[in-house]
Amino acid sequence: MAAIELSSLHHKILPLFRVERLTVVASRSVSIPPIEYPAELPITAHRQSLLQLVAEHRVIIVCGETGSGKSTQLPKILLESGLGRRGMIGHTQPRRLAARSIAARIAEELGTTGDSRVGYKIRFGDQTSSETLIKLMTDGILLAETQSDRDLRDYDALIIDEAHERSLNIDFLLGYLLRVIERRPEFRLIITSATIDAQRFAEHFSIQGNPAPIVMVEGRGYPVDIRYLPWTDVNRDAEDEDDNYDLGQHVIAGIDNVCRSGGGDVLVFLPTERDIREVSHQTAGHFKRLGLATRVDVLPLYARLPQAEQQRIFHPTGDRRRIVFATNVAESSLTVPGIRYVVDAGTARISRYSPRSRVQRLPIEAVSRASCDQRAGRCGRVAPGICVRLYSQEDYENREAFTTPEIRRTNLASVILQTLTLRLGSIDQFPLIDPPRPDAIRQGYRTLRELGAVDDHDQLTDIGRRLGRMPVDPRVGRMILAADEFGVLPEVLVIAAAIEVQDPRERPQDKRQAADEAHEKFQHPRSDFLSFLKLWRFYQQQRESVSHSKLDRICRGNFLSPQRMREWCDVYRQLREMVVQSPPWLPEQKSAPGRAQRRQVGAPRFSENEDEVIDAGRYTTIHQALLTGLLSGVALAGDKNEYTGAGGLKLFLWPGSGVFAAKPKWIVAGELVETTRQYARTVAAVQPEWIEPLAEHLVKKSYSDPHWSNKSGGAFCYQQVSLFGLPIVTRRRLALSPLDPATARQLMIDEGLANDEMPTTARSVRFNRQLVALIAELAAKTRRREYVIDPYNIRNFYASRLPDFVCDRVRLEKYDK
């Protein structure tokens, strides 16, 4: 009966749906603006051939350097080809800023500024609607959409831009999209890359053995003259590149080299913030000695630099020659305008996850040839440029062609969790361009087991399913689930958001002391996690009482980045909203459809005691919740400043930590990072006894020193409980009989019964004792010592008579009845 009703309903709905769909397509077609292409962009010359390729191929690879116009013109070409009617033309960017600004440029070119026909969607901003034809978004947003739109049917076509960056998101999407292509013949995909690794992409997207076509679009850049200036050319006495090496001198030689070629701004690539500080200082001294101090501006540039100082680079004033000292941030994330010369030290800090030690390493390494070329390309945008490489041509030619993709350098827990929650099968079956190493996959599963996200058979658990749907790192997700259970969500949500965003505390190189003094009032002596809460309390109090602009001023006065504080608030609000709404959040059995599950999450419960921030009782619970996500971050203090972490790892406290001075015996660390040393950052003092109930699935138990107690009438032993080799419980005295009844029985017989020392009410034992005593008395009187029943005989007697389960006094007395 129900089936008939359903099917008749089905017939009524389906035609309606089709009509509506046609109406949507028609109205979207009408709304398409006239399309024109700027003649000066190189990609415009490829329009005809691209249109033809789109008609014939499901996937196209477009290789184009900066300035080729690919990012702005490709969506228009897809729109002209007839796509974008049934679904949108999606276009992904690695960064939010780029997604927004490219959307604005396309809208301007199409004359749609002011409506949402060209829209964008990023984490905290959705500017799209049902009329959106072209949708810019971060690749993370598209990845998130796969959870609710499996075949990505919202889109007629997708452009994955900057694929050469090979971030985790991009690699995952490229694997995912291969399957979408297989299921949707009408769907179109364009992959763009700024480097010449196109062949890999083309082969990945082979259809029936035919690789995807590649279109090469020339850039609009000017030629760049490459010069090689290895250290042995600067310091002629040096026998090799390491001999007496001085990075400052080397860089100055490079700057002098390009300065002799004429006026223009210089961009210097260096690996670390510290190098930027030291080398820019040396360079300033160099120009001062030459009497040219007033002719140059020395400017640092790195991601952590306060916004105001970054602005000096993007809004130049005066006519001095600017020398910008930058990290990798200037290679792809930020474009420094007007650069004529590049000096490239050829190195960068590269993150590499060490699965064995669970530490994120940040070694300084030689960058790939692709990266060297990208850096050189930064000076050919306004006029012919010169790039001086502080290494030899031979060195360049021997380098890796491309930077190792992130998927080969990171903890895979989150990627594996996604393949499991999206039911994509096992990760080694998933079509990734660069499959991760098997041991990296194993360690990824190990992390998931640590979190209880998978069981011993690597099957997704209820916790895993919930973590997979949360927009945070699985460790942070785990803390949030525990916080809900333990009743400390208000505090842990603030802390979780803080862990997810970049640290808002700024420490400008020339005002480090002032910054440290300003931050001191936020430091909690036992927990850096509670320092976040102190900072939060301060910010929220100010926010309630002062204007926006005043709030920003207060932030800067306290060396806090206003932008990052806002990001923190945004992430906090998103997490709170997630918790308040039921579906991804509650355990599956509870999220019955139709049941309203609106919950309340209030503000953190602050203590009356300003410095403590949180009452002592809640300290325990909050840190227990944090521990559920950070069990492999537990460490024990050792000699001097050393700590021992999971698996015997040697660690040092981060010197900027609020607990640095206290050096607590047991800590939990939010991060383990190896730079100059292996550091535990974002640390809190914990009690080892908090850990055991949270780590039942991970701890190992061992027992020692079995011994007998006449007083208790039972055998005991000492238990040691260890977590990743750390003794969280030592010498816990336990009754032996439940653990090892045979040994307990033996001890009872040997020590309690054979020596007649155990007090007992057991009648047979008392009778035997009286009998033994009587015989002993008679033997003494008659001087017949051979009749004495010695302990050896008593032991043998009980050993042969007592059943196996009689292993302590209580059981003995019960058996006796």
Taking the least distance from each CB to DNA, the nearer of 507 and 809 is: 507
Alpha-carbon torsion (342, 346, 349, 352), positive or negative: positive
Taking the least distance from each CB to DNA, the nearer of 511 and 732 is: 511
Query: What is the C-alpha to C-alpha distance for residues 126 and 146, in angstroms, rounded to an integer?
Result: 17
Taking the least distance from each CB to DNA, the nearer of 339 and 758 is: 339
Among residues 47, 57, 86, 95, the one that binds DNA under rule CB under 7 A: 95
Query: What is the C-alpha to C-alpha distance for residues 78 and 57, in angstroms, rounded to an integer?
Result: 13
Taking the least distance from each CB to DNA, the nearer of 44 and 418 is: 418
Q: Interacting stretch for DNA, rule CB under 7 A, among 42-50, 162-170, 536-544, 586-594?
A: 162-170
Per-residue x/- track, 45-84, DNA (CB under 7 A):
----------------------------------------
Q: Does 350 help bind DNA (rule: CB under 7 A)? A: yes
Taking the least distance from each CB to DNA, the nearer of 628 and 760 is: 628
Query: If you ran DSSP here, which 8-state letter would residue 630 be given?
Result: -
Tell me which H or E stretch contains 681. Answer: strand 678-685
Query: What is the C-alpha to C-alpha distance for residues 529 and 522, in angstroms, rounded to an integer?
Result: 11
Query: What is the C-alpha to C-alpha distance for residues 289 and 743, in angstroms, rounded to an integer?
Result: 84
Q: Does 304 help bind DNA (rule: CB under 7 A)? A: yes
Among residues 71, 132, 283, 328, the one that binds DNA under rule CB under 7 A: 328
Query: What is the C-alpha to C-alpha distance for residues 91 and 71, in angstroms, rounded to an integer?
Result: 9
Query: Can you spell out the DSSP letters for 643-666?
Result: EE-GGG-EEEE-TTSTTTTT--SE
Per-residue x/- track, 570-589, DNA (CB under 7 A):
----x---------x-----
Among residues 511, 556, 599, 681, the one that binds DNA under rule CB under 7 A: 681
Query: What is the C-alpha to C-alpha distance for residues 727 and 532, in angstroms, rounded to an integer?
Result: 29
C-beta atoms surrounding 287 within 10 Å: 19
Question: CB of residue 154 vs DNA: minimum separation in angstroms?
Answer: 14
Query: What is the C-alpha to C-alpha distance for residues 457 and 560, in angstroms, rounded to an integer?
Result: 46
Nearest to 412 by CA among 450, 369, 447: 447
Query: What is the C-alpha to C-alpha distance for residues 474 and 294, in angstroms, rounded to an integer?
Result: 52
222 within 8 A of 385, measured Cβ to Cβ: yes
Q: Does 803 help bind DNA (rule: CB under 7 A)? A: no
Query: What is the C-alpha to C-alpha distance for residues 172 and 166, in angstroms, rounded to an integer?
Result: 9
Q: Interacting stretch for DNA, rule CB under 7 A, among 178-186, 328-336, 704-712, 790-798?
A: 328-336
Question: CB of residue 406 vs DNA: minimum separation in angstroms?
Answer: 6
Q: Interacting stretch for DNA, rule CB under 7 A, among 137-145, 176-184, 525-533, 546-554?
A: 137-145
Taking the least distance from each CB to DNA, the nearer of 76 and 478 is: 478
Question: CB of residue 331 vs DNA: minimum separation in angstroms?
Answer: 8
Taking the least distance from each CB to DNA, the nearer of 466 and 811 is: 466
Taking the least distance from each CB to DNA, the nearer of 304 and 795 is: 304
Q: Does 333 help bind DNA (rule: CB under 7 A)? A: yes
Residues 634-673 that bind DNA (CB under 7 A): 641, 654-656, 660, 671, 673
Question: CB of residue 365 vs DNA: minimum separation in angstroms?
Answer: 10
Q: Is 699 helix (H, G, I), strand (E, B) or coil?
A: coil
Q: Does 140 help bind DNA (rule: CB under 7 A)? A: yes
Q: Does 303 help bind DNA (rule: CB under 7 A)? A: yes
Among residues 44, 116, 128, 169, the one that binds DNA under rule CB under 7 A: 169
Q: Interacting stretch for DNA, rule CB under 7 A, among 250-258, 302-310, 711-719, 796-804?
A: 302-310
Query: What is the C-alpha to C-alpha distance for residues 301 and 644, in angstroms, rounded to an integer?
Result: 36
Question: CB of residue 316 vs DNA: minimum separation in angstroms?
Answer: 20
Taking the least distance from each CB to DNA, the nearer of 344 and 751 is: 344
Query: Can you spell out the DSSP letters for 97-154?
Result: HHHHHHHHHHHHHHT-TTSSSEEEEETTEEE--TT-SEEEEEHHHHHHHTTT-TT-TT
Taking the least distance from each CB to DNA, the nearer of 229 and 472 is: 472
Question: How far is C-alpha 620 from the geometric centre of its chain's CA atoms?
Answer: 25
Per-residue x/- track, 393-432, DNA (CB under 7 A):
-------------x-------x---x--------------
End-to-end CA, the chain: 69
Question: CB of residue 464 vs DNA: minimum separation in angstroms?
Answer: 13
Among residues 362, 569, 698, 735, the one that binds DNA under rule CB under 7 A: 362
Taking the least distance from each CB to DNA, the nearer of 272 and 607 is: 272
Query: Can you spell out the DSSP letters for 238-274?
Result: -SSTTTT--HHHHHHHHHHHHHTT-S-EEEEE-S-HH
Query: What is the C-alpha to C-alpha distance for residues 120 and 498, in angstroms, rounded to an integer?
Result: 26
- Bridge partner list, 300: 325
Taking the least distance from each CB to DNA, the nearer of 122 and 699 is: 122
Residues 463-482 that bind DNA (CB under 7 A): 468-473
Taking the CA atoms of the chain, what radius of gyration do you get in angstroms?
35
Query: Can you spell out the DSSP letters for 515-556?
Result: HHHHHHTT--SSBHHHHHHHHHHHHHHHHHHS-HHHHHHHHH
Question: CB of residue 192 vs DNA: minimum separation in angstroms?
Answer: 17
Taking the least distance from each CB to DNA, the nearer of 53 and 339 is: 339
Residue 87, CB half-sphere, CA atoms under 13 Å: how many?
A: 16
Query: Tokens 């602050």 identify what position?
Result: 606
Q: For residue 778, give every residue at least 6 positions away whose Cβ sits within 8 Å of its Cβ, in sequence order, or none.
A: 784, 787
Question: CB of residue 215 vs DNA: minimum separation in angstroms?
Answer: 27
Residues that bind DNA (CB under 7 A): 94-97, 122-123, 138, 140-141, 143-147, 167-169, 271-274, 302-304, 327-329, 333-334, 348-351, 362, 406, 414, 418, 468-473, 500, 503, 507, 516, 574, 584, 641, 654-656, 660, 671, 673, 675-677, 679, 681
